Structure 1
Amino acid sequence: MLGGAIGTDAAPTQKRETTDSATGQGFSRRDLVNTYVWTAAGGFFAETTETTDVVSETTSGSYSLSGSVGTSVGTSFQLAGIGISAQLDASVGGGMTATRARGKEATRSFGLNVEVNPARNLQRYDQDRKPVFDQDGQPVKVPGKVDAYRFLSFYLGEDSEHFDSFFHKVVDPTWLANGNDPNAAALRQARQSDRKPPCWRVLHRVTFVSRVLPAVPPAGAPPLEKAMRQVDVESNYELIRRLDPYVKGATTSLPELAEATRSALAAQLPDLLPHAADVTGFLAQYYGVDA
């Protein structure tokens, strides 16, 4: 440290005082949530939020050195009956104070990357595996196939609760206890139920799913689906695409979104206006608007 760099004391009368301190302060937002959208027509889109970890460290030290040297010489004698005395005093003093401080800051990005690649082909095929087209030459899609979905991916920082969630909610206890799979054997060796070490966790939550509607809705289909097919809207996501330019700026609250939805339907798809509440519901799911 500073004292070692300067050296040891030069004389017993010297006094040294040293103070060294090292403090590290850092903050790290480790819990992340990212939003992803997949569509059969456009592929995979990510709305990713990354955080930055910043760690700062400051090291300081002070050194104080003081010293003094004093001497005194005295003598007396007589010469021819005359007394003579002499006194010599000398003193040397000095002092030094030094302070050093340095700081450093390290920055690194921290994020979560997700990749998905579902099948994007929604077209129907006949018994000979040939694609089916309608009278206008457009591909006929298979009803019920997913044409879009939205999901959230979470990264949760280290916590002992994630240990319990993994072994009690995620992993099949029968497979873990009796399975011959090498992964099961590895997990049995890694399990530390007595300690419950903190673990990080990654989970995914699907918040919106859109499926291709039948060209002719069945008798028990919801009224909104029947109305959508009458105006040539083949899925919930297709309806979202039609309304998105008019409602995407009103997604801060559910009442605001409901008002924008009604206005958009009245102007663009008036036949769906009686179903505005249902349309607002799945728009809220898609945009992540809380009630």
Structure 2
Amino acid sequence: MRLWSLALKDDEIAANSRTLLTGREPGLVAYYPMTEAQGGQLRDVTGRGNHGAINGAPWVALDAPIGRQAGEPRGEAMVVAEYDTIGQRPGGTAMMALMRRAFAVETARGVRLFAEQRVEELDLRWVGNAQFQPTLLGYIEGPPPVPSENLTMSASYNGAASVELSTSDDVTFQWNRSKDEKLGNTTDLFLGWETNSKFAALPLGIGTINDLAKVRLGFKGAVSHTTGSTRASTISAQSSLKMIDRLELRGTLEDQPRFPQLGSRFIPKNVGYALVVSGLADVFVTSLRGSGRMVGYEVVPNADIPPDVNTVSFLINPAYTMAGSLDGMTGSAPTSDRFFAHVPELRAQYGSRYPASYYRLQEAYDLKRQIAEQDKRREAYFFNFNASIRVLGPVGDDLMAKEIDKGEAPGAVTVRRQEDTPVAGTPAAAADSEALIEAAGEQQDEYEGRAAERRAQIEQAFADREQLFTANRGLEQWQSRMEDLRIRAGKRNIVNTYVWDANGGLHTEQQQFANSVQHNIGSSASVNFNFGLEAKFFIGVKGVELTTMATMQMSQTLSKTVTNNRGFGLGVSLSGVESRGVTDHKDRPLVPGEKVGRYRFMSFYLEGATQHFDDFFAYVVDPEWLSGNSENARALRDTRGRTNKAWRVLHRVTYVERPALANFGADLRPLPAAPAAPTVDKRVESLEQKVDLMLKLLQAPKSP
């Protein structure tokens, strides 16, 4: 017998009728399983003490299963599964966890399922946050490459090298108003003679008198005077946003030296850095109230918090690049028997042409060439742009739009892996190339559509669309259209070169770029007033003429200007890379051919492209780590279904020098041993002998 404080559903009643309860089910007030089989008490197993008394009724044993319906066969199978769920308490917002049970019962007509059966309430503990539905914005493929064979002189080299991508967005709003007021007068004076010569025409005695000539001679002068006032005001409001993505070297000291000739090395972590936009979720742990044993680990999305930027660290595929190994080698041996055991043999056959770890010369110089070609196209676009359009109105706007769109649109700079490049000239290569081009076109269309949808979601999460509309609606269409010039002619990719020398030298070539957009909207008005007097006085041919005018002028201009500046920079620090233990004071190698004395590498920033997104999952991230159950791996797996144009920072080593021949040809024959310097005792003994000799000479008898 069971007493409940809430109404049960039909399927709950059916499921509960087939099994014994625990007594801790939510809403269960009293539960009498009647399993005592003796005595006069009917025990309540809910723990509430609602026991009952039996008066005069005997106990009767029943062998029928609980809830068996008439006609059902005995021995049917029942499968039971228990799980935890998290939800809100009825009538409130507080969270609660329940243990639930699901039954699968064999019946004559098949299997009947009873799900969501409440068993008992669980303890709920909040342990932190997790990322929900992240979108990949970009990633850094590890800190700058460093040689682990050099990292043997200290216990820690954390922070010895770092890479930093900086982005700055500056916005300036400016209002200008100026007002001019001017008052003045002008006086003209003429003093002189003026005479007219006339003649008369009298045909038939009737005629007219006409001017024959007019002569005006004298002095004329003018005087003008103007006074005025000017007032102007400029109001500006500025805001700046600087974003820095930085990744430093991290690692641990190895327990047992893998290469005894080098000693214990500091092993860098093969870790990368991803920037994402993600929602927020709460992480809960549920446990049994009685024993405290953990039941489940639940991630509950929080729909009240908008998506925001976050970071995810990930392990890099060691078959792609391995931190601490510049070229797949550590000294003269392969860094890893699993991934680079074949490197010494293939390097002996192909030299620098064989890629391993960061040492990928073909990829490095192909990327550098792509960026250089893009810079040349930007320069050509600028000089070929026709800025002499003299047509006004809509026709002029159309001509300018056509001029902006002239030429080939800039494409993305992407990595062309040497491993994925077929041998040129073979039929397989030609067929593969055609297939790849066709497949790439189809995939590109699909990616663009999916990327556009996700970018719209991100913009919705980060910006108020109504505010953006209000800010831009004052611009004319041609002004907004001119912003496309920044896409056509603006630099968007970076290649930096670094050369490190164990003797303290460091050469750097670093690029930066910035794009600026400025829009100005304004109006002007002016008013001019002129009034005065004119007087003429002539007596005969002599006279004076005077003209005076008063002037008043008022003008006003009002304008507003918005300026947007965006800058990018990529920097690398190698301040902590170890140079001790490489060569001695005479620049001779201490461990010939084992430690790096000089190396060169390039660091790239590549603008967002869907291929970078695909490359990330194809070969950058470690597939074994990605299939794991860590929070970071789960978050990155969730980004795979949301294709986006992701930016990328990567490194490529192009030169490695391990000094081994500095003593080649030196005279190694041992030098003759130098005579030993006399000790103090020897010197004392020699002096004593000399003193004895002098005494003997003094004591000897003198000859007559």
TM range (shorter): 0.3 to 0.5
State TM-score, norm by structure 2: 0.20
Give the number of the structure whose alpha-carbon radius of gyration is greater.
Answer: 2
Q: Which has the higher helix share?
A: 1
State TM-score, norm by structure 1: 0.45
